[in-house]
Structure 1
Amino acid sequence: MGVLDRLSDIFDFDVSKPRKKRKPMQTVDIKVKMDCDGCVRRVRNAVSSMKGVKSVDVDRKQSKVSVSGYVEAGKVLNKVKSTGKRAELWPYVPYNLVAYPYARQAYDKKAPSGYVKNVPQALASPGGPEEHFTTLFSDENPNACSIM
Protein backbone atom coordinates (compact mmCIF):
# COMPACT_ATOMS: atom_id res chain seq x y z
CA MET A 1 0.00 0.00 0.00
CA GLY A 2 2.94 2.31 0.29
CA VAL A 3 3.23 2.74 -3.49
CA LEU A 4 -0.45 3.63 -3.88
CA ASP A 5 -0.23 6.18 -1.10
CA ARG A 6 2.79 7.77 -2.78
CA LEU A 7 1.04 7.89 -6.17
CA SER A 8 -2.03 9.52 -4.66
CA ASP A 9 0.22 12.18 -3.11
CA ILE A 10 1.96 12.87 -6.44
CA PHE A 11 -1.12 12.89 -8.67
CA ASP A 12 -4.25 14.80 -7.77
CA PHE A 13 -7.31 12.75 -8.67
CA ASP A 14 -10.44 14.79 -8.14
CA VAL A 15 -13.44 12.63 -8.90
CA SER A 16 -15.96 15.24 -7.73
CA LYS A 17 -15.67 17.33 -10.94
CA PRO A 18 -18.14 16.19 -13.59
CA ARG A 19 -16.70 16.08 -17.07
CA LYS A 20 -18.44 17.96 -19.84
CA LYS A 21 -20.05 15.75 -22.42
CA ARG A 22 -18.86 16.46 -25.91
CA LYS A 23 -21.51 17.19 -28.50
CA PRO A 24 -21.83 14.49 -31.16
CA MET A 25 -20.40 15.08 -34.61
CA GLN A 26 -23.29 15.95 -36.92
CA THR A 27 -24.19 17.75 -40.10
CA VAL A 28 -26.76 20.54 -39.96
CA ASP A 29 -28.46 21.60 -43.19
CA ILE A 30 -30.07 25.04 -43.35
CA LYS A 31 -32.10 26.73 -46.08
CA VAL A 32 -30.92 30.34 -46.50
CA LYS A 33 -31.98 32.83 -49.17
CA MET A 34 -28.73 34.15 -50.67
CA ASP A 35 -28.69 36.52 -53.64
CA CYS A 36 -25.04 37.35 -54.23
CA ASP A 37 -21.47 36.37 -53.40
CA GLY A 38 -21.47 38.86 -50.53
CA CYS A 39 -24.37 37.02 -48.90
CA VAL A 40 -22.53 33.72 -49.30
CA ARG A 41 -19.36 35.17 -47.78
CA ARG A 42 -21.23 36.74 -44.84
CA VAL A 43 -23.03 33.49 -43.98
CA ARG A 44 -19.86 31.39 -44.40
CA ASN A 45 -17.79 33.69 -42.15
CA ALA A 46 -20.48 33.83 -39.46
CA VAL A 47 -20.88 30.06 -39.26
CA SER A 48 -17.20 29.14 -39.61
CA SER A 49 -16.33 31.36 -36.62
CA MET A 50 -18.46 29.18 -34.33
CA LYS A 51 -16.74 26.86 -31.87
CA GLY A 52 -16.80 23.20 -32.96
CA VAL A 53 -17.38 23.79 -36.68
CA LYS A 54 -15.22 21.56 -38.89
CA SER A 55 -16.51 22.41 -42.38
CA VAL A 56 -19.00 24.73 -44.04
CA ASP A 57 -20.42 24.04 -47.51
CA VAL A 58 -22.54 26.72 -49.15
CA ASP A 59 -24.62 25.95 -52.25
CA ARG A 60 -26.10 29.21 -53.52
CA LYS A 61 -28.05 27.57 -56.32
CA GLN A 62 -30.01 25.36 -53.89
CA SER A 63 -29.98 28.00 -51.10
CA LYS A 64 -28.41 25.42 -48.80
CA VAL A 65 -25.74 25.69 -46.11
CA SER A 66 -24.29 22.45 -44.69
CA VAL A 67 -22.33 22.74 -41.44
CA SER A 68 -20.38 19.74 -40.11
CA GLY A 69 -18.88 19.56 -36.67
CA TYR A 70 -19.61 19.38 -32.98
CA VAL A 71 -22.49 21.87 -33.12
CA GLU A 72 -26.17 22.12 -32.24
CA ALA A 73 -28.74 22.83 -34.95
CA GLY A 74 -30.45 25.61 -32.99
CA LYS A 75 -27.24 27.52 -32.37
CA VAL A 76 -26.20 27.29 -36.02
CA LEU A 77 -29.64 28.48 -37.11
CA ASN A 78 -29.48 31.46 -34.73
CA LYS A 79 -26.00 32.36 -35.97
CA VAL A 80 -27.18 32.38 -39.59
CA LYS A 81 -30.22 34.47 -38.64
CA SER A 82 -27.91 36.98 -36.93
CA THR A 83 -26.51 37.86 -40.37
CA GLY A 84 -29.90 39.30 -41.32
CA LYS A 85 -30.85 36.46 -43.64
CA ARG A 86 -34.09 34.50 -43.44
CA ALA A 87 -33.18 30.94 -42.52
CA GLU A 88 -34.84 27.67 -41.55
CA LEU A 89 -33.73 24.09 -41.06
CA TRP A 90 -33.56 22.16 -44.35
CA PRO A 91 -37.18 21.09 -44.94
CA TYR A 92 -36.51 18.69 -47.83
CA VAL A 93 -35.64 15.02 -48.20
CA PRO A 94 -34.36 13.23 -51.32
CA TYR A 95 -37.09 12.23 -53.76
CA ASN A 96 -36.15 8.53 -53.76
CA LEU A 97 -36.50 8.15 -49.96
CA VAL A 98 -40.22 8.91 -49.70
CA ALA A 99 -43.04 6.49 -50.46
CA TYR A 100 -45.44 9.08 -51.90
CA PRO A 101 -43.58 12.09 -53.33
CA TYR A 102 -46.74 13.56 -54.92
CA ALA A 103 -48.78 13.48 -51.70
CA ARG A 104 -50.56 16.64 -50.67
CA GLN A 105 -48.15 19.23 -49.20
CA ALA A 106 -45.09 17.15 -50.11
CA TYR A 107 -44.59 18.29 -53.69
CA ASP A 108 -43.14 21.79 -53.73
CA LYS A 109 -42.36 23.73 -56.91
CA LYS A 110 -39.73 25.77 -55.06
CA ALA A 111 -37.85 22.68 -53.89
CA PRO A 112 -34.49 21.94 -55.50
CA SER A 113 -34.52 19.24 -58.15
CA GLY A 114 -34.53 15.76 -56.66
CA TYR A 115 -36.08 16.86 -53.35
CA VAL A 116 -39.59 16.96 -51.84
CA LYS A 117 -40.81 18.41 -48.55
CA ASN A 118 -40.41 16.33 -45.43
CA VAL A 119 -44.04 15.78 -44.41
CA PRO A 120 -45.63 12.75 -42.69
CA GLN A 121 -48.08 12.18 -45.56
CA ALA A 122 -45.21 11.43 -47.96
CA LEU A 123 -43.21 9.23 -45.61
CA ALA A 124 -45.92 6.97 -44.18
CA SER A 125 -47.66 4.28 -46.15
CA PRO A 126 -51.43 4.83 -46.21
CA GLY A 127 -52.49 1.42 -44.92
CA GLY A 128 -49.43 0.42 -42.96
CA PRO A 129 -47.98 -3.10 -42.83
CA GLU A 130 -51.09 -4.53 -41.18
CA GLU A 131 -53.22 -3.84 -44.24
CA HIS A 132 -50.63 -5.39 -46.54
CA PHE A 133 -50.59 -8.71 -44.64
CA THR A 134 -54.35 -8.94 -44.24
CA THR A 135 -55.01 -8.47 -47.95
CA LEU A 136 -52.25 -10.83 -49.00
CA PHE A 137 -54.53 -13.87 -49.06
CA SER A 138 -57.80 -12.06 -49.80
CA ASP A 139 -60.13 -13.20 -52.63
CA GLU A 140 -60.69 -9.57 -53.54
CA ASN A 141 -57.01 -8.96 -54.20
CA PRO A 142 -56.13 -9.82 -57.83
CA ASN A 143 -52.43 -10.21 -56.90
CA ALA A 144 -53.14 -12.55 -53.96
CA CYS A 145 -51.60 -15.94 -53.52
CA SER A 146 -53.14 -18.41 -55.98
CA ILE A 147 -52.19 -21.52 -53.99
CA MET A 148 -55.20 -21.21 -51.72
Structure 2
Amino acid sequence: MGVAGTMEYLSELISSGKKGKKRKQLNTVSLKIRMDCEGCVLKVEKTLSSLKGVKSVDVDLKQQKATVTGYVDVKKVLKAAKSTGKKAEPWPYVPYNLVAHPYVAQVYDKKAPPNLVRKTEDPAIAHLNPVEEQYSLMFSDENPNACSIM
Protein backbone atom coordinates (compact mmCIF):
# COMPACT_ATOMS: atom_id res chain seq x y z
CA MET A 1 0.00 0.00 0.00
CA GLY A 2 1.67 3.18 -1.19
CA VAL A 3 1.00 6.82 -0.48
CA ALA A 4 -2.04 6.86 -2.77
CA GLY A 5 -3.53 3.85 -1.01
CA THR A 6 -2.95 5.43 2.38
CA MET A 7 -4.56 8.70 1.25
CA GLU A 8 -7.58 6.84 -0.12
CA TYR A 9 -7.91 4.90 3.15
CA LEU A 10 -7.75 8.11 5.19
CA SER A 11 -10.29 9.86 2.96
CA GLU A 12 -12.66 6.90 3.35
CA LEU A 13 -12.28 7.09 7.13
CA ILE A 14 -13.05 10.80 7.15
CA SER A 15 -16.02 10.47 4.79
CA SER A 16 -17.41 7.48 6.72
CA GLY A 17 -17.73 9.71 9.78
CA LYS A 18 -20.82 11.28 8.21
CA LYS A 19 -24.01 9.78 9.55
CA GLY A 20 -27.08 8.92 7.59
CA LYS A 21 -25.37 7.90 4.36
CA LYS A 22 -24.61 4.26 3.71
CA ARG A 23 -21.62 3.50 1.46
CA LYS A 24 -22.18 1.20 -1.48
CA GLN A 25 -20.13 -1.94 -1.81
CA LEU A 26 -17.43 -2.23 -4.48
CA ASN A 27 -18.95 -4.27 -7.33
CA THR A 28 -17.79 -5.73 -10.60
CA VAL A 29 -20.60 -5.84 -13.15
CA SER A 30 -20.17 -7.74 -16.42
CA LEU A 31 -22.54 -7.19 -19.31
CA LYS A 32 -22.99 -8.69 -22.75
CA ILE A 33 -23.52 -5.77 -25.14
CA ARG A 34 -24.00 -6.10 -28.89
CA MET A 35 -21.29 -3.91 -30.48
CA ASP A 36 -20.24 -3.74 -34.14
CA CYS A 37 -17.32 -1.31 -34.33
CA GLU A 38 -14.89 0.88 -32.39
CA GLY A 39 -17.46 3.68 -32.41
CA CYS A 40 -19.86 1.45 -30.49
CA VAL A 41 -17.09 0.63 -28.02
CA LEU A 42 -16.34 4.32 -27.43
CA LYS A 43 -20.04 5.13 -26.99
CA VAL A 44 -20.50 2.33 -24.42
CA GLU A 45 -17.26 3.26 -22.59
CA LYS A 46 -18.25 6.92 -22.38
CA THR A 47 -21.76 6.16 -21.13
CA LEU A 48 -20.68 3.63 -18.51
CA SER A 49 -17.75 5.69 -17.24
CA SER A 50 -20.06 8.69 -16.72
CA LEU A 51 -22.03 6.81 -14.04
CA LYS A 52 -21.48 7.95 -10.47
CA GLY A 53 -19.15 5.67 -8.48
CA VAL A 54 -17.47 3.98 -11.46
CA LYS A 55 -13.74 3.29 -10.94
CA SER A 56 -12.95 1.56 -14.25
CA VAL A 57 -14.63 0.39 -17.45
CA ASP A 58 -13.21 -2.36 -19.66
CA VAL A 59 -14.88 -3.06 -23.00
CA ASP A 60 -13.93 -6.07 -25.14
CA LEU A 61 -15.30 -5.87 -28.69
CA LYS A 62 -14.29 -9.43 -29.59
CA GLN A 63 -16.23 -11.02 -26.70
CA GLN A 64 -19.01 -8.38 -26.79
CA LYS A 65 -18.34 -7.82 -23.07
CA ALA A 66 -18.23 -4.73 -20.86
CA THR A 67 -16.92 -4.91 -17.30
CA VAL A 68 -17.61 -2.06 -14.88
CA THR A 69 -15.83 -1.87 -11.51
CA GLY A 70 -16.83 0.59 -8.81
CA TYR A 71 -19.43 1.54 -6.25
CA VAL A 72 -22.35 0.95 -8.60
CA ASP A 73 -25.68 -0.83 -8.69
CA VAL A 74 -26.14 -3.62 -11.24
CA LYS A 75 -29.56 -2.35 -12.35
CA LYS A 76 -28.26 1.20 -12.94
CA VAL A 77 -25.34 -0.07 -15.02
CA LEU A 78 -27.67 -2.24 -17.11
CA LYS A 79 -30.07 0.66 -17.61
CA ALA A 80 -27.22 2.96 -18.70
CA ALA A 81 -25.94 0.32 -21.14
CA LYS A 82 -29.41 -0.02 -22.67
CA SER A 83 -29.68 3.77 -22.97
CA THR A 84 -26.93 3.65 -25.63
CA GLY A 85 -29.38 1.92 -27.95
CA LYS A 86 -27.45 -1.34 -27.86
CA LYS A 87 -28.88 -4.69 -26.82
CA ALA A 88 -27.51 -5.37 -23.32
CA GLU A 89 -27.95 -8.16 -20.77
CA PRO A 90 -26.06 -9.44 -17.72
CA TRP A 91 -23.05 -11.60 -18.64
CA PRO A 92 -24.63 -15.04 -19.12
CA TYR A 93 -21.49 -17.20 -19.34
CA VAL A 94 -19.40 -19.21 -16.87
CA PRO A 95 -16.38 -21.50 -17.42
CA TYR A 96 -17.52 -24.86 -18.78
CA ASN A 97 -15.85 -26.80 -15.94
CA LEU A 98 -18.29 -25.23 -13.42
CA VAL A 99 -21.26 -26.91 -15.12
CA ALA A 100 -21.76 -30.65 -14.78
CA HIS A 101 -23.24 -31.11 -18.27
CA PRO A 102 -21.71 -28.40 -20.53
CA TYR A 103 -23.14 -29.80 -23.79
CA VAL A 104 -26.83 -29.93 -22.83
CA ALA A 105 -29.12 -27.87 -25.07
CA GLN A 106 -29.97 -25.25 -22.39
CA VAL A 107 -26.28 -24.65 -21.60
CA TYR A 108 -24.28 -25.05 -24.81
CA ASP A 109 -24.10 -21.91 -26.93
CA LYS A 110 -22.22 -21.74 -30.26
CA LYS A 111 -21.80 -17.98 -29.90
CA ALA A 112 -20.19 -18.23 -26.45
CA PRO A 113 -16.54 -17.18 -26.09
CA PRO A 114 -13.98 -20.03 -25.92
CA ASN A 115 -14.20 -22.31 -22.84
CA LEU A 116 -17.46 -20.71 -21.67
CA VAL A 117 -21.05 -21.95 -21.53
CA ARG A 118 -24.33 -20.36 -20.44
CA LYS A 119 -24.98 -20.16 -16.73
CA THR A 120 -27.89 -22.27 -15.48
CA GLU A 121 -29.71 -22.62 -12.18
CA ASP A 122 -31.33 -25.96 -13.06
CA PRO A 123 -29.97 -28.44 -10.44
CA ALA A 124 -30.25 -31.38 -12.85
CA ILE A 125 -27.83 -29.67 -15.24
CA ALA A 126 -25.63 -27.71 -12.85
CA HIS A 127 -24.73 -30.60 -10.51
CA LEU A 128 -23.82 -34.23 -10.98
CA ASN A 129 -25.98 -36.79 -9.24
CA PRO A 130 -24.06 -39.26 -7.01
CA VAL A 131 -23.97 -42.04 -9.64
CA GLU A 132 -22.60 -39.71 -12.35
CA GLU A 133 -20.05 -38.32 -9.93
CA GLN A 134 -18.84 -41.83 -9.08
CA TYR A 135 -18.37 -42.66 -12.78
CA SER A 136 -16.68 -39.37 -13.61
CA LEU A 137 -14.14 -39.80 -10.80
CA MET A 138 -13.00 -43.18 -12.18
CA PHE A 139 -11.07 -41.53 -15.00
CA SER A 140 -8.26 -39.02 -14.91
CA ASP A 141 -8.18 -36.10 -17.36
CA GLU A 142 -4.47 -35.53 -16.72
CA ASN A 143 -3.51 -39.11 -17.64
CA PRO A 144 -6.03 -40.87 -19.90
CA ASN A 145 -4.16 -44.17 -19.57
CA ALA A 146 -4.63 -44.20 -15.79
CA CYS A 147 -7.99 -45.68 -14.91
CA SER A 148 -9.13 -46.73 -11.45
CA ILE A 149 -11.12 -49.63 -12.94
CA MET A 150 -8.02 -51.50 -14.12
Q: Give me the TM-score of the superposition, normalised by structure 2.
A: 0.70
Match of 1:42 in 2: 43
Aligned length: 117
Question: Which SS does the other structure have where 2:55 is aligned?
Answer: strand
Report Cα offsets for 1:101-147 as digits up to 9, x if no partner.
1123100001111110001343222x359x979xxxxxxxxx8xxxx
The answer to whether the aligner puts 1:114 opposite 2:115 as a matched pair is yes
Which stretches of structure 1, 4 residues or more, deviate above 6 A after TM superposition?
Answer: none
The offset of 1:18, in angstroms, is 5.2
The offset of 1:36, in angstroms, is 0.5
Q: Please give the root-mean-square deviation of Cα atoms over the aligned residues, in Å.
A: 2.3
Cα distance between partner residues in 2 of 1:132 and 1:82: 45
Q: Which moved more, 1:27-36 or 1:93-102?
A: 93-102
Report Cα offsets for 1:2-38 as digits up to 9, x if no partner.
xxxxxxxxxxxxxxx9522111101000000100110
Alignment gaps of 5+ in structure 2: 1-17, 135-147
Q: Kindly, what percent of the aligned residue pairs are identical?
A: 55
Match of 1:4 in 2: none
Question: Which SS does the other structure have where 1:67 is aligned?
Answer: strand
The residue identity in structure 2 corresponding to 1:20 is K
Cα distance between partner residues in 2 of 1:107 and 1:68: 28
Cα distance between partner residues in 2 of 1:66 and 1:26: 10
The residue identity in structure 2 corresponding to 1:110 is K
Alignment gaps of 5+ in structure 1: 1-16, 134-142, 144-148
| Structure with greater Cα Rg | 1
Alignment of 1:87-106 (within 5 A): 87-106=88-107
Match of 2:66 in 1: 65
Alignment of 1:1-148 (within 5 A): 19-121=20-122, 122-125=125-128, 127=129
